[in-house]
Amino acid sequence: MFKKILIANRGEIACRVIKTARKMGIQTVAVFSEADRDALHVELADEKVCIGPAPSKESYLVMDKIIAACKKTGAEAVHPGYGFLSENEEFARRLEEEGVTFIGPKHYSIGKMGDKIESKKLAKAAGVSTIPGHNEAISGPGEAVRIAQEIGYPVMIKASAGGGGKGLRVAWNDAEAREGFSSCVNEARSSFGDDRVFIEKFVQEPRHIEIQVLGDAHGNYVYLNERECSIQRRHQKVIEEAPSPFIDPETRKAMGDQAVALARAVKYESAGTVEFVVGADKSFYFLEMNTRLQVEHPVTEFITGLDLVEQMIRIASGEKLAITQNEVKIDGWALECRINAEDPFRGFLPSTGRLTKFFIPGASDYLRVDTGVYDGGEISMYYDSMIAKLIVHGATRDEALGRMRDALNAFVIRGISSNIPFQAALMKHPRFQSGNFNTGFIAEEYPQGFDASMVPHDDPALLISVAAFVHRCYQDRAAKVSGQLPGHERQVGDHWVVIRGGEWHPVVARPTLGGYEVEYKGRKYRILSGWRLGQSLFNGTCNGEPFTLQVERHRLVYQIHHWGTRADMMVMSARAAELLAMMPEKAPPDLSRFLLSPMPGLLREISVAEGQEVKVGEKLVVIEAMKMENILKAEHDCKVKKISAAIGESLSVDQVIIEFES
């Protein structure tokens, strides 16, 4: 067994590998960019080596620097995590030549499966079901349109070296095929250094289901059941679960046997994942093989009891698989939510900055949080948007769903926006709860995007009562301030008005032992809690029923988060509410003459010039944030008056990029 391994990655996956290595008694080496000098994985590792500036192409993607770090520290093996160099054939080969073990498949397996065009040919030869398409690299946008027309729209344009939703577009017509080709080429070149793309038929109403496989150097192979990964937004997974609510034992075995046949065909030695698209009739087609550990591997670990990182390390050290196919189990149900740094109320745009508060739910035998950040840490614009993975396990799917809802309520992130409200809303969605969904679920259920009004709360009286509780706490403290004139001390009344969305909700809030009793619409809500002023997390009981929610005070507004609902409420006396109703509302400024940056990011392209007439729908600029290209288009016909930003500039949120003539 290895004595020391280097992790050629960052963030939560680097922390995840360190955790298992420590359990196995193996020392670890962290590599880090200048932007990650204070990152959690650097703190957790036994040794650390700086490998360059913030951009990944100057640090985490530079093989020479990582190999030099291995020599400097004496690391015998490298775990690549996922992303970066994890599926790079040359990197695996160079490590082998340097006498360093690559904790993953051999370079020739990566080469065969990492190229999506060649992998489809190999899969077909191995007897694996494949999807119709053009499996050769496309030379230009014109050829992309011609091939798309031959296959028939809709089609998927995919980078040959792509992954994680990058370098992938769905085109429904010629214009989208041209634009999608260009975007895929650019993203693929930037993220993977390989700009080849190909086209295949887009199967409508598909499910995305993948099979986890393990193979060793002794010819032993097993599949560890399936993962359901159909809940996706912009082709990036949002929620994963194992097993799938759709797959029956016969289909599971058929998919598993094909996945093992493919792994055997390429002499695969490590953990790998064979991805399939599955139709409504349970017909399935090979998509690709990921020759690395998957982001969503924890759900498989929960239901099988296996540590996949440990399995990878043991296989790389030459050990035989310790488990046979007959011993692979399905114990209960597991769910994973990807907690991303993005604002669901602003079209899921990236959100970067400092984590002013970061409190995760307490770990247990059924709850786990994998993360690479900490309270006070920084979310950088240079890397992907994932903050953490929240994973729960239950005896049944319903139990796992309930535990996930509770865990999301208790996950506190402040300083940046996160997709927790959206995840919580998905957990409450009847269609998701039923298991009747496909990869189009989010686009179908949220065609205009997501906002808080889409999540009606089951018990609005609870939110109103908690707002009254919190306000009364603040008022009672204020009444205890010293130095008050004797005989004229502040008196706190019991009668209040909670204002939410312009609606008045009269309440009575009286102290009771351990909390307050709130009377609302003739009913009494006895809320008991040890909550203290300023705390974000509110744990308590309402009439004996336990609940967890989050509350923030912003001047006069109490913002309450629960089950995906965000309720903004003010609490005041009836007289104060009457006076507030007479206050004139301030009109918002007219920003229609400006193109503002909707996110922090790098201005990659400006497609117009000063004085140019622009038609609605024309491309204006391209902003790159968190490794994704975002194209901003004209919302109406206009004329460019002034360009206020330069290509290559780092933009802040709402920074003016272009001013139009009025």
Q: Among candidates 356, 253, 354, 242, which has minimal Cα distance to 306?
A: 242
Distances (CA, A) of 400 to 131, 348, 405, 545, 596: 33, 26, 9, 20, 41
Cα distance between residue 56 and residue 62, in whole Å: 8
Collapsing DSSP to helix, strand or coil, 361 comes out as coil
Q: Count Cα neighbours of 318 within 13 Å in the Cβ-side half-sphere.
A: 3
What radius of gyration do the chain's Cα atoms show?
27
Collapsing DSSP to helix, strand or coil, 607 comes out as coil
Cα distance between residue 394 and residue 577, in whole Å: 47
Q: Is residue 492 exposed (0-12), middle (13-18) or buried (19+ Cβ within 10 Å)?
A: middle
Cα distance between residue 403 and residue 413, in whole Å: 19
Q: Is residue 26 exposed (0-12), middle (13-18) or buried (19+ Cβ within 10 Å)?
A: buried
**For the chain, percent helix, then strand, then coil, each to nearest 5?**
30, 35, 40
Q: Count Cα neighbours of 416 within 13 Å in the Cβ-side half-sphere.
A: 29
Collapsing DSSP to helix, strand or coil, 344 comes out as helix
What phi and psi, each to the nearest 5 degrees, are found at residue 335?
Answer: -130, 145
Q: Is residue 84 exposed (0-12), middle (13-18) or buried (19+ Cβ within 10 Å)?
A: buried
For residue 551, what are the β-bridge partners?
Answer: 560
Q: Among candidates 157, 159, 16, which has minimal Cα distance to 80?
A: 16
Residues 117-150 as b or e (16 or more Cβ within 10 Å = b)? bebbebbeebebebbebbbeebeebebbbebbee
Q: Count Cα neighbours of 554 within 13 Å in the Cβ-side half-sphere.
A: 9
Cα distance between residue 150 and residue 380, in whole Å: 43
Q: Among candidates 303, 374, 281, 342, which has minimal Cα distance to 42?
A: 374
Collapsing DSSP to helix, strand or coil, 339 comes out as strand
Residues 544-567 as b or e (16 or more Cβ within 10 Å = b)? eeebbbbbbeeeeebebbbbbbbb
Catalytic residues: 288
Going by the DSSP 8-state scheme, the letter that residue 482 receives in this structure is S
Cα distance between residue 13 and residue 352, in whole Å: 19
Number of neighbouring beta carbons within 10 Å of residue 333: 23
